[in-house]
Each structure stands twice: as C-alpha cells, then as structure tokens.
Structure 1
Amino acid sequence: MSMQITDMRSSDTGIEGLLILTLKQVSDERGTVREFFRASAHDAALSGLGDWRQINVTESGYGAVRGLHGEATTKLVGCIAGKAFGAYLDARPGSASYGKLVTVELSPGTQVLVPAGVCNGFQSVSREGSQYLYCFTEEWRPGMPGSAYSPLDEGLGLSWPIPVDPGNPAQISAKDAAAPKFSEQKLSEQIVGS
C-alpha cells in the first residue's frame, strides 16, 4: 500500500450552520494519521468562534444513546474510536432551519460542527462501543442556558439504528428518556401562533 492522502473538506447540511467536516488524513502500511484539529485548516468553518474552552471524551457501549442536548456553546464533535449515528435538531427559535433534523454516520475522520442551540445526540453503533469527542467554545456549567429534548420523540421521525428500551439505563439515562418532546412543543407553538 502506498501513501494515501485525503484532504480536509466541509459540506453544508439542512440545518443552518451545521457542517460535516472530513478530516485530512494520511494512510500507509502502518495505519492512519488524522488531523482532528488544525486552526489554519478549520479557519473557514470556525471563523469568529474563539478558542476551545473544554474538551470531553464520552465512552459509550453498543446501543447507548446520549442527547438531544443543545447548550449555549458551539461544539465540534466526532468519533475517535468506533462508530456512532449522530442526530442534530435545530431548536433555535427564529432560525431559518428551526425544527429540522439531520443525521450523520460518524466514524474516525468525520466531524460535525454543531452551532450553539442546535441539539446534539448520538447512538453508539459499534459492538466494541465508541469514543465520542466534544470540543466546546464555552466551559460547561450547571444551569448553563440551553435545551434538552427526548431522543425517543417519535414525532421527530428519528429512527435509531439499534432499538432503544427506555427502561434500560445501559441504553439511555432516565433524564434523557423523560425530557420534553420537541414535536409537542413545536405543535403547541403552531397552535398559539395561528
């Protein structure tokens, strides 16, 4: 195998400001080196966001779901091991793409830039589990402004690849399962607005 180089590129989605990034990577017989973050390469996508203030890695078992969480911070997310099915919901009132849902298959080499207020959720779909990395433009703190919605809201039309048992704490937290349903909130907003 000779050296193979994949250049970084980005693509828009149906949600305003939500970008899918393919990382620059170099592969040869030894394996692959990926540029998870390079300021000069990310400048176009991250212009004006400032520095990363916190970075977390979440390890999740097969079938586990986390989210949908939309804190008041921009996030750069991606898998550093295993695979995940990402779900992103625009919960920003007044956004041109308010209420849109985008799903992305994530594996090492793919990232998603999630604007502040867009809800982020994912399901680990690798048998060995997955490691999901989050970079935040603001440090997380209790009571931070934002929103959280149930990832099991059937009104979203979101179909997780692995069926989720809402009573199984290895698959979903009680807090996430009991979060409000976005589809019900949106419906009540439409009724009030008419």
Structure 2
Amino acid sequence: MKYTETKLSGCFILEPVVFEDERGYFFESYNENRLAAILGYNPHFVQDNQSKSQYGVVRGLHMQAGDHAQAKLVRVLEGSVLDVAVDVRPGSPTYGQHVAVELSAENKKQLFVPRGFLHGFSVLSEHAVFAYKCDNKYNKEAEDGVHPLDKLLAVDWQIPAEKMILSQKDKEAQNFTALSDKL
C-alpha cells in the first residue's frame, strides 16, 4: 500500500496495490497491521457506514466532539467525490486548514481522517456510494459541525453554488468562529 501524509499531521491518503487482469481486479482495501504501521497506532474500528448521494450533494462539515470524537477511514465504492478534512485540533499548527482529495471508485484512494477533524464531501459524479469506518460509535449529543460554505475555511467543493444540495442541518450550521470558540 502506498501512503502519503497530507499537510495535516496524521491525515493520510492511502492507495492500494491493485492486481488487474482480463477477469477484473483485486485489492486489499483494509489491513489492520499495515494501517497501524502507517499511523503509528492501531485504530480500533467499531462501526462501518455507507451513503449514496447524487451529483451536487455536499455533506458536511461534521464531527463528533469530546470523548465521542471519531477517526475515519473513507473511500468511494461507486462514482467520485471531493473529500475534505479540516483540522480543528486545539493547538495544532495547521488549525483551521483543510485538505481536499478526490476519491473515486476508479482511483480506489482512501483518506484516513484522525480524531479532531471536521469532515465532509461533495459528489462530483452522477451519483456516488461512499463508505467509511469509524473508531468510535456515533453519539447524537456529541454531534457538531460548521457550515460547508464558511468563508474562513474557503473550501472549493468543485460544485457550482446553484447546483449544490445541502441538508437543512448543514444550511443552518454554525460558522467556523463559533465552533472555535467552543473548542
């Protein structure tokens, strides 16, 4: 497995070795020991999630706060997304900075998003099936987030504004300053 640490410490792009022939392909999408060697610790994943969304959907920016924080290993099973991770770890030298990586069924890349990050994605293809592992269970009371179009974060979701589809929750989400004041 090839891996690259992003500009945000602990956030990695993972690329599997793919074996292809006339029958199709095979690759190892997850190996506990290899991931632990890359990260320097072994995240214990306790929950897998999957969603399907249409072009223009922007989901995020979300996080679980406090003791319910989650690290995620994310990938795309069908289609293509722009996956975004924002560092909100207090005291981090990259606090408030983000990375954006295209994940697709074709490129088979994954992104490891550590605890202490906001996370979201936009759907670039006609539809996308998005899957991710979490190292902590979801807790509604610990849910937090920031409006995906927050001007301070200035994420380019690669979707024209008039074509973006946001949930009501994301439309009403707080700005980055309000989240920062709580952390």
TM exceeding 0.5: yes
Shift of 1:33: 1.6
2:82 corresponds in structure 1 to 85
2:23 corresponds in structure 1 to 30
Q: What is the letter of the counterpart of residue 175 of structure 2?
A: K
Percent of paired sites with the same residue:
34
SS in 2 for 1:44: helix
Q: What is the letter of the counterpart of residue 42 of structure 1?
A: L
1:77-128 alpha-carbon deviations (Å, 9 max, x no partner): 111111001111111111121111111111131001101111111001111x
Q: Give the conservation status (yes or no) of the 8 Å contact 2:55–2:124.
A: yes
2:173 maps to 1:179: yes
SS in 2 for 1:37: coil
2:71 maps to 1:74: yes
SS in 1 for 2:120: strand
- 5 Å-filtered alignment, 1:116-155, equals 116-127=115-126, 129-144=127-142, 147-155=144-152
Q: What is the letter of the counterpart of residue 120 of structure 1?
A: H
CA distance in 1, matches of 2:166, 2:55: 11
- Structure number with greater CO (CA < 8 Å, separation at least 6) is 2
Q: What is the letter of the counterpart of residue 30 of structure 2?
A: F
Task: Name the count of aligned residue pairs.
Answer: 175
Q: 1:54 to 1:46 in 2, by over 3 A?
A: farther
Greater gyration radius: 1
Q: Give the conservation status (yes or no) of the 8 Å contact 1:70–1:91.
A: no
Q: What is the letter of the counterpart of residue 113 of structure 2?
A: V
CA distance in 1, matches of 2:49, 2:27: 18
CA distance in 1, matches of 2:91, 2:2: 29
1:156 corresponds in structure 2 to 153
SS in 2 for 1:155: coil
Q: What is the letter of the counterpart of residue 78 of structure 1?
A: R
**Which runs of structure 1 show a deviation greater than 6 angstroms over 4 or more consecutive aligned residues?**
none
SS in 2 for 1:85: strand
1:45 corresponds in structure 2 to 38
Shift of 1:147: 3.2
Q: Give the conservation status (yes or no) of the 8 Å contact 1:117–1:147.
A: no
User: Is there any run of 5+ residues in structure 1 with no aligned partner, and where?
Assistant: 1-7, 190-194
Q: What is the letter of the counterpart of residue 164 of structure 1?
A: A
Q: Give the conservation status (yes or no) of the 8 Å contact 2:57–2:166.
A: yes
Q: 1:117 to 1:151 in 2, by over 3 A?
A: same
CA distance in 1, matches of 2:161, 2:120: 14
Q: 1:130 to 1:13 in 2, by over 3 A?
A: same
CA distance in 2, matches of 1:70, 1:14: 20
Two-structure CA RMSD over aligned residues (Å): 2.0
Q: Provide the TM-score with structure 1 as the length reference.
A: 0.82
Question: Which of 31, 50, 54 matches 2:47?
Answer: 54
